[in-house]
Each structure stands twice: as structure tokens, then as C-alpha cells.
Chain A
Amino acid sequence: MTTAVVMPKPRRSWYKRNEIAVTPWLFLAPAILFFMVYVIIPIFQSFNLSLYRWDGLGAAEYIGMANYEELLADRAFETSLWNNLKWLLLYLLAIPGGLFIALLLNQTVAGIRLYKSLFFFPFVISQIVVGLVFTWFYDPTFGLLNVMLGWFGLGPLNVLGDPDLVTYGIIAAGLWPQTAYCMILYLTGLNAVDPEQIEAARLDGAKGWRMLWYVIIPQLKPATFIAFVVTIIGALRSFDLISIMTNGGPFGSSRVLSFYMFEKALSEYGFRMGYGAAIAVVLFLIMLVFIAYFLFSMYQEEKER
């Protein structure tokens, strides 16, 4: 807006005068409204609720930081926190795994589309089905895993009944569909790789790992970023697999924060709303680290353009 603009008709309506400034907000309004009601306000409500003792029925009683103090001494919470960390770290294996399969499948052979769909299949089926399939696979009495271990003279192993192994067992089940997801992201990314640059690199004598590391992977950076984002988010909401495969057990050793929150606040034996909210707040703070990082990287990207 510059002052040089001359207004020929000073009696235009307010909306007409401010159309350029107002219209974007009008279009944004529904989204902002729902985002406030369903995301932003509940976050603050959770913060508030975590300071109360409330069973969801009677009156809530203000108890200050007592829920957080209890969390500090709660070993089940500690276990869940460590399991969350294991999920975050090991789930990232889906990214190199997906890249490797994508490179393998990125060629023109007869029937490659069929192979691609087969590799993508685990991502299409529901997490619940993945969980069930792996539960049967791990079954200590009838499962395939112990049959396979038997070929090498190992086992038997009860993966989902062993408090030390159970989380790794569930993560392995989760990696199956997640790798497929990353693979698809990389397959589309590989389509966008510039053939001229590869040609040029080849003329300069690059091949194998050096070609991959210095020429192809840098061009896949957008795909890697998205793969990283979806994998971190996937790791943090690893609820359904745990629920279907172990229900948090044996004796709580496979719980993660989201599952523990559900158990304390919403399950059959729960209804400690304040305590559940306190766990949710901790989970939110962990997520906030990643959210801040994602937003920052996206902001940087925008600026470069």
C-alpha cells in the first residue's frame, strides 16, 4: 500500500476498502477456528488438568505439582520413557532400509511394478493386522519364529513374553510397514533425480558408494526430510501395535508414554485424568522438540527460495 494510490470514490464499503487484507483471514477462519478448538485449546486444558486430581466424574481437586512429583518416582513411567527413546532411535532404521529397497527397485525390469506393489503392501494393510501377524509369528508355542530359530539350533524364544525383548519385538513389527512407507517416498524422490548430473558425475569417474553419497543422496534431501518427519511421528504414536500385541505387558514392560497415558486416564482400570494429563504434557514436551525442529527447517527452506 503506497500513498500514491488515489481513491476516486471515497464512499466505498469497509469490506471493499480492506478486501486485500481481510480476504485471506476469511478463508483461514474455519481452519483457525477448528485448529483452536481441537488442538490449541486442548493443549492448554491438558496443562491445566495435570494440576488436578480428577476421576472424570466428581469434582476436580487442585493438587499443584503433585502429579509430576509422583511421575518422578513412578517406575512404570520411567520404563515408558526409555521405551519411547528406543522407539525413536530404532524406528529411524526405516529410512536407510527404505532407501536401500528403493534403489533396488528403481530399475526397469519386466514386472517391476508388481514387485513395487508387493514391497508397498505392508503399508497398505492396517497396523492392527500387522500386529496380529507378528503376534502369531512370535507365538512361543505355534509361531514360525521358533521354527526358524530351530533350524539353526537356537531358541525357543518368547519375544513378547520377555520383558527385555518385548519392545524390540514390537519395533521390528512396526518397521515392516514403516520401511515400505519410506521406500515409496524415496521411489518418488528418485524419479526427480537429474539424469544430467548423474551423467556428468559418471564422466568424472564417480560410481558405486561415492555416486550414491555425493550425487544421489543430496538430491534426495526433500524425500529424506519427509521420511524423517513421518518416521518420528510414527514412533511417537506407536500405540496400536502395543495395544494389539502385548497390551503393554508383560507387567508393563512394553508400554510407551502414549499407552501409559491411555491406561491411566481412559482404560477400564484408569480414570486418573490429572495423572494422565501430566503424562500427556511430558509427551507433548518431547514432541515439541521435534515440532520446533521441523518448523525451523521448513522456515529455513522457505527463506532460501
Chain B
Amino acid sequence: MKSILKASVATFVSVAALGGTALADAHAQQLSGDLTIFSDMSNPAPRAVMEGMVARFGEMHPDLNIELTVIDREAYKTQIRNFLSANPPDVANWYAANRMKPYVEAGLFADVSDLWAEDGMEALASTKGAMTIDGKQWGVPYTYYQWGVYYRKDIFDEYGLSEPTTWEEEKANCQTLLDNGVKCYTIGTKFLWTAGGWFDYLNMRTNGYDFHAALTGGEIPWTDDRVKATFANWRELIDMGAFIDNHQTYSWQEALPFMANGDAAAYLMGNFAVAPLRQAGLDDSKLDFYQFPVINPDVELAEDAPTDTFHIPAGAENVEAAKEFLRFVVSADNQTLINNGENLGQLPVNANSSVDDDKFLKQGFEMLSSNSPGGVAQFFDRDAPAEMASEAMQGFQEFMVIPDNLDDILARLEKARQRIY
């Protein structure tokens, strides 16, 4: 670094004169060479965000040649296996928790614990656990989003309902809606994971976050009575007819019109459902959000908040530049910018970032930072190993269609658990 300073005294002086020491610090490291980034942010808004980040990082490091490759988000999930071992980039997108475990265990992600030990990284503490395997950190988060119940405020008002906070109120609300010919919840389980969201919430409200972690970690048999208690609560809603009919035929997007048309009043979903619902004509006076109500008052509230991440593959060539990029990604300013309503429309992970002035983002940020004492889960299919997740979510769908098969389903899942872990 000293040689760089020597070589560019003139630059240093001019920079110091312009912007003071903070700016000089940012430029202290002169990066050069190539930086290749593979990204799965292929939808229009995320893609613009990714390209914007690369452009801004490139301006800060003019000598660095950044090559960004954006790959379709679904295709990326299978391609990552090939490129991590055959043709590793310097930076790659992926997900937190169990989803990154196969790559960590195969030695394909680099340990970035030194980055997490630096000053200022305490601001990312909320997701440190999700980024940690074997006591080391393997990547950094750039965004996450809340889950919860999005509901039709106008329909609730029409029937004199208010946001429920307890399971009894939730069911009473639901009964009123059903009596008036409105389904309580829309859902599309064709691709299974939406049922995983329902299971996560019912399970975390019935048995708590630690139980969720132990169950997805394979430490608890699926035939356990506490698991059955979760399903018993679920069954109360199913027997009431709370969910839309034929949900097994629809994707989550195909389930949106039921809510937009007023055939169903609420949707347990991630915050990404807000954008299409707004497009369908539900403005903020018609659409609102509440935290999933308490079922068992003895367990602390815990939430699902899936985190998307950046990693440095073990085979990265320009590690210095990759680490600098990760520092840039997690900085408070960058996270404020990329997560605002015009860009990703999600929540920044850095605690020093500010949240955009959006009704749902503000509610979600408040819920996750002050009303989720039990912990923050990633999501069923990110916390459980992939194979267990697919078996279990298929079982959840079967349960929602034919609840009487529960014992058979649980026996099957238990058999799978013993094989997988």
C-alpha cells in the first residue's frame, strides 16, 4: 500500500483537498485487474440495482475492469454448481443458512470471517447467525424482506373486523368472512413453498423459533407431539374452509387475483407480493399488513425473513477486489439506496441504513427490529436441507388437500429425516 501512496501523491493531495479524510480512506486502496461477478438478479428491478452497484463501484475504482454476468434466477440455482467448481467468478450471489451449506462443505465458498471482524460490521449482526457455519462467516447479506399477512383493509372494514393479535381473533375474523362468502386466505401451492410459509408461521407460533431450528436441523422426529400440535392448529383453518379451493392448481402469482377481486381477504406472503397487488389496483387504503398473530402466548414471536447474499468463491482470482466489493455492498449508504421503493423495495440489513418511506417496508422493519424477540428464520426451504424441504413441503400440500392423511405423511417425513440427516 505504501508504494501506491508514493506513486500517487498528487492524487492523494487533490482528493484530500476535495473531500476530507473519509473520502481519502475510500480511495486508499487502488484496485486493479479484473473483477468478475455472477449474479442471479435477473428480474428487471434487481437487474437495474445490480448494474447500478457495479457502475458506482466502478467509478470508485477506475482501474478495475468489472465484468458482470447476470444469469436467470431459476437457471442460476443449477448453474452455480458448475461454475463454482469449473469457472469460479470473484463474486457470486446466493442465499443464507442451509442453502449455502453444500458449497461451504465442498470448500467452494471462501471464508470471509476477517471481513466480519472489521469495524462497522456489527451493524449486520441480525443476519450474522444465518451467515455462520462452523463458527465462520461465508458471505455478506445485501437485502432481506419480511413475511406476514397482507390483507384487504376495505373488506375488513366492511365487516367491522380489525387486525387480529391472537389465534382466537384470527379464527373469529375468518368465520365472519366465511359467513359473508369471502375466503379468509388465498394461496397457490402448485410450487409447494407457499405451504412451507404457513407451516413455518404456525410452527413458530405454536412451538417457537428454537423448535423451528431444531426441527429443520433434523433433531426432532416428525412424529413428535409438538409437530402434531402445529398441524392441529392448521387443521382448524382447513376444516373451516379458510383457504381458497383448488389451491394445489395455482402458483403464487395465479392466487393473487382472488385477493385482488375480493374473493379472498388475506395472503400470508413475502413483501414481494405488494408490487403485483398494487399493480392489480389495490392502493394503500385497500391493502394493509399485520404480523402473524400469537397462538401460544408462552413462546416469543419469531419471523421469516429470507436473506439474499453475496459470496466469494474459493477459486476467486481477485480476492482483494472481491472483498472491497463486499464492503461496498454492505455499507449503510449502499443498502439504503438499493433497498428503497424505486429499486428492490425490500429491507436493508445494515442497521445504520434508513428504510424507505413505504407503508409496508416501515411496518416490516419495525416488526423485525423490535417485535421479533424469538429470532429471525430464513424460510423452511432455506433452513432445512434441500431434500428434506422438498419432501416436507410436498407433505404440507397433501395435508392441505387431504388432512386425514396426516399420520401417513408424518411417518413418511420421519423416514426421510432418518435417511437425510
List chain A positions with a Cβ less than 8 A from chain B: 55-58, 70, 75, 138-141, 158, 160-161, 246-247, 249-252, 263, 266-272
Q: List 5 A-B pairs, Cβ < 8 Å.
A: A140-B246, A247-B190, A249-B394, A252-B394, A271-B102
- The answer to whether B191 and A158 have CB atoms under 8 Å apart is no
Chain B residues positioned under 8 Å from A267 (CB to CB):
78, 390
CA A272 to CA B391, docked complex, whole Å: 13
Chain A residues positioned under 8 Å from B359 (CB to CB):
none
- The answer to whether A251 and B249 have CB atoms under 8 Å apart is no
- The answer to whether B401 and A269 have CB atoms under 8 Å apart is no
- The answer to whether B381 and A249 have CB atoms under 8 Å apart is no
- The answer to whether B81 and A268 have CB atoms under 8 Å apart is no
Those of B249-301 within 8 Å (CB) of chain A:
249
- The answer to whether B390 and A158 have CB atoms under 8 Å apart is no
Given A57-B103, A269-B381, A269-B387, A139 contacting B249 (CB threshold 8 A): yes
For the complex of A and B, the 3 pairs showing the least CB-CB separation, nearest first, are: A269-B390, A251-B398, A57-B106
* A269 interface neighbour in B74, B389, B395, Cβ under 8 Å: B389
- The answer to whether B395 and A251 have CB atoms under 8 Å apart is yes
From A158, A251, A266, name the one whose CB has the most chain B CB atoms within 10 angstroms. A251
Those of B373-421 within 8 Å (CB) of chain A:
381, 386-387, 389-390, 394-395, 397-398, 401, 412, 419
- The answer to whether B81 and A56 have CB atoms under 8 Å apart is yes
CA A267 to CA B77, docked complex, whole Å: 9
Chain A residues positioned under 8 Å from B77 (CB to CB):
268
- The answer to whether A250 and B102 have CB atoms under 8 Å apart is no
CA A55 to CA B85, docked complex, whole Å: 13
List chain B positions with a Cβ less than 8 A from chain A: 74, 77-78, 81, 85, 102-103, 105-106, 108, 190-192, 245-246, 248-249, 381, 386-387, 389-390, 394-395, 397-398, 401, 412, 419
CA A259 to CA B78, docked complex, whole Å: 16
- The answer to whether A58 and B381 have CB atoms under 8 Å apart is no
Chain B residues positioned under 8 Å from A160 (CB to CB):
249
- The answer to whether B386 and A269 have CB atoms under 8 Å apart is yes
Chain B residues positioned under 8 Å from A56 (CB to CB):
81
- The answer to whether A272 and B394 have CB atoms under 8 Å apart is no
- The answer to whether A158 and B246 have CB atoms under 8 Å apart is yes
* B401 interface neighbour in A57, A70, A161, Cβ under 8 Å: A161
Residue of A nearest to B245 (CB): A140
- The answer to whether B248 and A161 have CB atoms under 8 Å apart is yes
- The answer to whether A268 and B190 have CB atoms under 8 Å apart is no
Chain A residues positioned under 8 Å from B397 (CB to CB):
249-251
Report A60 CB to chain B, min CB distance, Å: 12
CA A249 to CA B398, docked complex, whole Å: 10
Given A158-B246, A271-B386, A250 contacting B103 (CB threshold 8 A): no
Report A210 CB to chain B, min CB distance, Å: 48
Chain A residues positioned under 8 Å from B81 (CB to CB):
56-57, 271
CA A263 to CA B391, docked complex, whole Å: 11
CA A106 to CA B37, docked complex, whole Å: 60
Report A9 CB to chain B, min CB distance, Å: 55
* B108 interface neighbour in A57, A70, A251, Cβ under 8 Å: A57
Report B248 CB to chain A, min CB distance, Å: 4
Chain B residues positioned under 8 Å from A247 (CB to CB):
190-191
Chain A residues positioned under 8 Å from B395 (CB to CB):
251
CA A139 to CA B250, docked complex, whole Å: 9
- The answer to whether B394 and A57 have CB atoms under 8 Å apart is no
- The answer to whether B78 and A268 have CB atoms under 8 Å apart is yes
CA A55 to CA B248, docked complex, whole Å: 30
Report A180 CB to chain B, min CB distance, Å: 27
- The answer to whether B390 and A246 have CB atoms under 8 Å apart is no
CA A164 to CA B79, docked complex, whole Å: 35
Chain B residues positioned under 8 Å from A266 (CB to CB):
78
Given A57-B81, A57-B102, A251-B398, A161 contacting B386 (CB threshold 8 A): no
CA A160 to CA B251, docked complex, whole Å: 13
A268-B77, A271-B81 known; 16 other A-B pairs, CB under 8 Å? A57-B85, A57-B103, A158-B249, A161-B246, A161-B248, A249-B394, A249-B397, A250-B397, A251-B395, A251-B398, A251-B401, A267-B78, A268-B78, A271-B102, A271-B386, A272-B387
- The answer to whether A55 and B381 have CB atoms under 8 Å apart is no
CA A145 to CA B168, docked complex, whole Å: 40
- The answer to whether B246 and A58 have CB atoms under 8 Å apart is no
Report B80 CB to chain A, min CB distance, Å: 10
CA A47 to CA B381, docked complex, whole Å: 31
Given A57-B106, A266-B78, A269-B390, A249 contacting B246 (CB threshold 8 A): no
CA A271 to CA B79, docked complex, whole Å: 12
Residue of A nearest to B192 (CB): A249
